[in-house]
Structure 1
Amino acid sequence: MANIVICKRLARCLIDDNTLCPPKKRCRVGSACLSDREIQSRASIDALPDECIQKILERLAGRRERCISACVSRPWLLLLSTILSEGDCFAPFVKPHLDLNEHPTGAESLSWSRDKSELRRRNFEGETATDVGLAAAAIGAGWCEELLIRGSETGSRRVTDAGLVAIARGFPSLRVLSLYDCPFVTDEGLTQIANGCPLLEELSLVRCAQISDFGVAAIARCCPKLSKLALNSCQRVGDHGLRIVGGACPGLTSISILDCPLVGDQGMAGLLATPDRSNVKKLKLQNLNISEASLTIIGIYGKYVDELILSGLNVTERGFWAMASAAGLKMLTSLTVVSCTGLTDLSLEAVAQGFPLLKSVRIRRCLNLSDAGLKAFTLAACSLKNLQIEGCRRLSLRGVLNANSVSKNLKHQRAFFVVGCMGSSPGFQFNRLLRKNYSARGQQSAQLMRHVRCHFSLSSPRLDSWAL
């Protein structure tokens, strides 16, 4: 021990006096001299580039091996999510370890059907809607037909294009995709979905601010089986994308476009003006920059449309008249008009004359509609069974009762609702008295309600429900 101390002191003195001679032989450092952190950093496979690790992971044969490898670290999980296994492409989910010699009980078969249904539909909402969660589901499940992703604009974890790449690689048999509140998803992610999921039939994009015509066009070109398209608050989607959708997707049956300011008449023409290929049955338009020309196109080419919803459109009376006079909407049975100043007495009468199969009509907050228009509409409507009017201030109770009494077409009516219609006509005081006394349940109210009920029972004997 003393010799060791003397050697240390001598070495320190030599170093201080700069008299240390260079060693003749290189010192060999053993593994015992390295710290655990240095050994781990040198021996870890993560020191390899991502390209090398991806080549190694591509050689994993089964899904079980890939799931185990994905549990190693998050980088491995994200790398595995970008790898498409050849055996999983368009392969349905199969129950593992099926023994044909065993007879499954009712509880086992019910549990199996429930598990299959849960795997068929998957929802990612709030904090669970992340790229890591989507990548884990794509690697572990391997089969999904309906996927709903509801992100959060205020959350710390958000869905990006990396999550959609994982979905495109892991769910090639995807048929329904719904994206809500995904502001960081761009056209690149939607293009990956189009290339990886060619069987897509339904697409819903709600408040996806960075998706433009390029992403919608990629879906239309690569997914010819697309039947339902819903665009809500997509500020960058315009006429170009809709024209490509109309030309590439002949099986489109349901279209919903809401709050897209770049959509105009050209987009509606390219989407609907295909005489031999237009099979649209449900059409919903809200707060779009369209004019009377778009309504005329709907009236000409919408020969299979049976449900039409128009809301917040800045069109004039001429547009509704032209749509009804085109005589193309022969199959229309349900019509909803909300906050459209162009719906007047003349246009409403033209609607009743142009749509002979119209059975259900809902009108809300159309301020240019009066008692005369309602009377003309009830006289011309032949198949009407359900009429709902709300917030039309120029309508009065006297006008409603008059329209109901003079019309012979309302005898087959099943429901009649008039809410919030207190016009400036002489029936205004009568309507206000009805509301006031009905809430108080007085003797005068009972007599008034008995009179109104008697009126409706005589004019519409099949009426099931009514409200004023």
Structure 2
Amino acid sequence: MSKVFDFSGGDDFCSGGLLHKNPKDSSLFFPLGRHVDVYFPRKRSRVSAPFIFNGEVKQQSSIEVLPDASLFEVFRRLSGGQERSACASVSKRWLMLLSTIHRDEIFPVKGNLGPEDHDNTSISEKEDESSKAKEKVEFVDSGVVKSVNKEEFEGIDSDGFLSRCLEGKKATDVRLASIAVGTGSRGGLGKLSIRGSSSTRGLTNLGLRAIGRGCPSLRSLSLWNLSSIGDEGLLEIASGARLLEKLDLCHCPAITDKGLIAIAMNCPNLMSVTIESCTNIGNESLKALGHCCPNLKCITVKNCSLIGDQGIASLFSSAGHVLSKAKFQALDISDVSLAVIGHYGSAMTDLALLDLHNVNDRGFWVMGKGQGLQKLKVLNITACRGISDSGLEALADGCPNLKLFGLRKNLLVSDTGMVKFARAAVSLESLQLEECHRITQCGVFHILANCGGKLKALALANCLGIWDINFAFPLTSICQSLQTLIIRNCPGFGNVGLAILGRMCPKLIQLELSGLQGITDTGLLPLIHSLEAGLIKLNLSGSVNLTDNSVVAITKLHGETLELMNLDGCKYLTDAALSEIAQNCSVLSELDVSKCGITDSGIASLAGAEQLSLQIFSLAGCSAVSDKCLPFLGVLGETLVGLNVQHCNGISSSSSSSSSSIDLLLEQLWRCDVLY
């Protein structure tokens, strides 16, 4: 090593002799500069130390003295992505300058040809190029319509398998520039999500300009809660990322119709668009999307005050034959929009209408009578207060292929309308009713009796009009097709209703009776015994009046098929229930006994079951369990992937010893996610 320090070099290297009297002086070794946030994996910092000749300090010559124009010419002649990434790691100035270079501005390098030879093309090559197909794809650049060969358009960095997500303070122009420069040589950026926050201050349109110029393979862009991003940034994306297929704009008040129209005109592959709470986007954007995007399949528009009937009408009249999924929420639209959707939505398969306070029953009636929704399979209507029985019946007639229907927060639809709907919707397989307070228990049973034998799932939630009524229901009215029944938080539903359901629905395999404080063992046992098919999923959470008798019957009759059991809040259940579960439930994978009256003995019986292989086990709020259950939880942990012991006060989380019980449990169940 000393020979290295003593080496002075020849005269041809440095005519001034030694650089310093003592070449081993440690003051000559300067620290490396700070690293820059770039993508090149092997970064090298610049050393800006001065050279010392014969005791005089002279400033080191640097390429930094070159103006941006000269550096631009140097950078666009770099041969590959790794070289550009290496240069980007030198300084922020170089990084930002590299990020402004458009793909078309990169100088073509072919072998050892000089710059003057790049434009020389043989006559035969020109003839070959002219013989190729002249199919063009038009796009807009800086307000001017341009065209390129279709082959060139489809060949733009077509990989794009990389995905990046920036949130909060991480969303800055420098990071976006690094992504733009660094991903080009690594497969190309395909998906970019930017989630802003109150602390997002370092992001401007410059960052999106870098993405637009450096990431032509971008197919999905999501911008959420970004007040600093406007039309200028979106114009750069439209100009450079012409392969864009999905665009999500949420809470971006600075973006107007100008930016979204540019996207529509430049990105013919656009398939999915979401616009939410963008106060300056209006009808012209929807008009452009309908006219310029032949592949548009899915659109979501929520809480945009400038979008009205004109925008919806323009969209569906132009793209209704390709649009298959649409969601409109909190918009100032009227019955006109519903009529247009019903007439032009010939390709529509999934439609959601939410919080549309200005639409009336007549609009739904016209939408159904328009006969344009023949392919509609999924329809959700929430908080549209104008719809009533006549509009609902018209929808059933106009949507013969409807399989799933959801009606929520409605005060006008009654039993009569729902029964007519169930009878007319001949393909209906799933019906969801929530906060429909005019629907009664009698109406529910008539729906099951008139559903045409195809209804597979029925869900009732928060329906205050459902109360037990003593009446004689025809024993011949049986719904053999129903497999899933959900009754959640309907306080009036009790034992009488359960008894009738037991006679009407013998094929249930998924049953949820949650939040029903009025049901007891007396009502549940007849239902359990009447089921011909084995239950697979059972949820009795919040049914506080059930006891061990119900669990014993369930495990003996359906233990061989039961995979999920939720008994959360059934406070009268004891260790006897767990013992029956351990003996009879051979395929159970998820068990929730939170806030039940179980003890360490019950957990021990579960641990002793050889055939039981629980994956998720919750005993949150079971105050009777203690540290004595930890060995048994360790045995169960051989198969567990999730364990919840929150609010189990008997299990110590702190101890005077070196390790608490929870720490020992975490150490033993290192493969399992433990909530404590």
Residue 446 (str. 1) matches residue 524 (str. 2): yes
Residue 265 (str. 1) matches residue 265 (str. 2): no
1:219 and 1:179 map into 2 onto residues whose CA distance is 14
Residue 353 (str. 1) matches residue 394 (str. 2): no
Residue 418 (str. 1) matches residue 436 (str. 2): no
Paired residue type of 1:129: A
Residue 431 (str. 1) matches residue 497 (str. 2): no
Residues 437/140 of structure 1: CA separation in 2 closer, same or farther (3 Å cut) = closer
Residues 440/373 of structure 1: CA separation in 2 closer, same or farther (3 Å cut) = closer
2:56 and 2:253 map into 1 onto residues whose CA distance is 53
Partner of 1:371: 415
8 Å CA contact 1:415, 1:464 repeated in 2: no
Q: Percent identity?
A: 36
Paired residue type of 1:386: S
Shift of 1:403: 2.5
2:514 and 2:75 map into 1 onto residues whose CA distance is 75
Structure 1 window deviating more from structure 2 (384-393 vs 366-375): it is 366-375
Partner of 1:330: 374
1:368 and 1:291 map into 2 onto residues whose CA distance is 18
1:91 and 1:226 map into 2 onto residues whose CA distance is 16
Shift of 1:408: 5.0
2:176 alignment partner, one of 125, 134, 146: 134
1:363-409 CA-partner distances (Å, limit 9, x unpaired): 1112222222111111211011111111112222222113322x151
8 Å CA contact 1:122, 1:144 repeated in 2: no
Name the SS of the counterpart of 1:168 in structure 2. helix
1:71 alignment partner, one of 79, 89, 95: 89
Residue ranges of structure 2 left out of the alignment (5+ in a row): 1-51, 109-151, 470-489, 498-512, 541-676
Shift of 1:81: 0.4
Structure 1 window deviating more from structure 2 (426-435 vs 45-54): it is 426-435
Residues 439/148 of structure 1: CA separation in 2 closer, same or farther (3 Å cut) = farther
Partner of 1:58: 76
Name the SS of the counterpart of 2:458 in structure 1. strand
Residue ranges of structure 1 left out of the alignment (5+ in a row): 1-29, 94-115
Structure 1 window deviating more from structure 2 (187-196 vs 173-182): it is 173-182
Residue 165 (str. 1) matches residue 209 (str. 2): yes
2:88 and 2:279 map into 1 onto residues whose CA distance is 37
Residues 429/83 of structure 1: CA separation in 2 closer, same or farther (3 Å cut) = closer
2:360 and 2:380 map into 1 onto residues whose CA distance is 17
2:434 and 2:102 map into 1 onto residues whose CA distance is 54
Shift of 1:127: 3.4
2:198 alignment partner, one of 131, 147, 154: 154
Paired residue type of 2:329: Q
8 Å CA contact 1:358, 1:381 repeated in 2: yes
Shift of 1:271: 0.8
Residues 35/260 of structure 1: CA separation in 2 closer, same or farther (3 Å cut) = farther
Shift of 1:234: 1.1
Paired residue type of 1:207: H
Shift of 1:355: 0.7
2:491 and 2:204 map into 1 onto residues whose CA distance is 58
Shift of 1:35: 6.6
1:241 alignment partner, one of 275, 282, 285: 285
Shift of 1:151: 2.4
Name the SS of the counterpart of 1:220 in structure 2. helix
1:415-435 CA-partner distances (Å, limit 9, x unpaired): 111111111888598526768
8 Å CA contact 2:405, 2:430 repeated in 1: yes
8 Å CA contact 2:493, 2:518 repeated in 1: no
Shift of 1:137: 1.5
Residue 211 (str. 1) matches residue 273 (str. 2): no
Name the SS of the counterpart of 1:148 in structure 2. strand
Shift of 1:158: 3.9
Partner of 1:398: 442
1:180-202 CA-partner distances (Å, limit 9, x unpaired): 22221110110001111112122
Name the SS of the counterpart of 2:402 in structure 1. coil
Paired residue type of 1:420: N
1:307 alignment partner, one of 350, 355, 360: 350
1:297 and 1:467 map into 2 onto residues whose CA distance is 42
Shift of 1:466: 10
Name the SS of the counterpart of 1:412 in structure 2. coil
Shift of 1:303: 0.5
Residues 412/198 of structure 1: CA separation in 2 closer, same or farther (3 Å cut) = same
Name the SS of the counterpart of 1:331 in structure 2. coil
Name the SS of the counterpart of 2:436 in structure 1. coil
Equivalences for residues 14-163 of structure 1 within 5 A = 39=59, 43-86=61-104, 90=155, 92=157, 119-142=161-184, 143-163=187-207
1:92-127 CA-partner distances (Å, limit 9, x unpaired): 48xxxxxxxxxxxxxxxxxxxxxx88x433333333
Shift of 1:239: 0.5
Residues 35/432 of structure 1: CA separation in 2 closer, same or farther (3 Å cut) = farther
8 Å CA contact 1:161, 1:189 repeated in 2: yes
Paired residue type of 1:323: M
2:397 and 2:156 map into 1 onto residues whose CA distance is 52
Residue 222 (str. 1) matches residue 266 (str. 2): yes
Shift of 1:354: 1.1
Q: How many residues were matched structurally?
A: 403
Shift of 1:327: 0.6
8 Å CA contact 2:491, 2:515 repeated in 1: no
1:135-191 CA-partner distances (Å, limit 9, x unpaired): 111111104353232322222444321111111111112222222222211101100
Residue 285 (str. 1) matches residue 303 (str. 2): no
8 Å CA contact 2:467, 2:494 repeated in 1: no
Paired residue type of 1:233: S
1:150 and 1:442 map into 2 onto residues whose CA distance is 51
Paired residue type of 1:442: T
Shift of 1:54: 2.6
1:332 and 1:436 map into 2 onto residues whose CA distance is 31
2:326 and 2:384 map into 1 onto residues whose CA distance is 16
Partner of 2:429: 385
Paired residue type of 2:241: C
Partner of 1:109: none
1:466 and 1:359 map into 2 onto residues whose CA distance is 24
Paired residue type of 1:162: L
Residues 324/443 of structure 1: CA separation in 2 closer, same or farther (3 Å cut) = same
Name the SS of the counterpart of 2:192 in structure 1. strand
1:398 and 1:362 map into 2 onto residues whose CA distance is 19
2:361 and 2:525 map into 1 onto residues whose CA distance is 41
Partner of 2:360: 316
1:462 and 1:334 map into 2 onto residues whose CA distance is 29
Partner of 1:298: 341
Paired residue type of 2:345: G
8 Å CA contact 1:345, 1:368 repeated in 2: yes
Shift of 1:32: 8.1
2:367 and 2:421 map into 1 onto residues whose CA distance is 16
1:306 and 1:359 map into 2 onto residues whose CA distance is 10
2:242 and 2:285 map into 1 onto residues whose CA distance is 18
Residues 465/294 of structure 1: CA separation in 2 closer, same or farther (3 Å cut) = farther
TM-score (norm 1): 0.78
Shift of 1:343: 1.9
Kindly indicate whether structure 1 or structure 2 has the higher relative contact order, using CA contacts under 8 Å at least 6 residues apart.
1
2:314 and 2:275 map into 1 onto residues whose CA distance is 16
Shift of 1:204: 1.3
Shift of 1:252: 1.1
Shift of 1:91: 5.1
Residues 150/217 of structure 1: CA separation in 2 closer, same or farther (3 Å cut) = same
Partner of 1:100: none
Residues 70/218 of structure 1: CA separation in 2 closer, same or farther (3 Å cut) = same
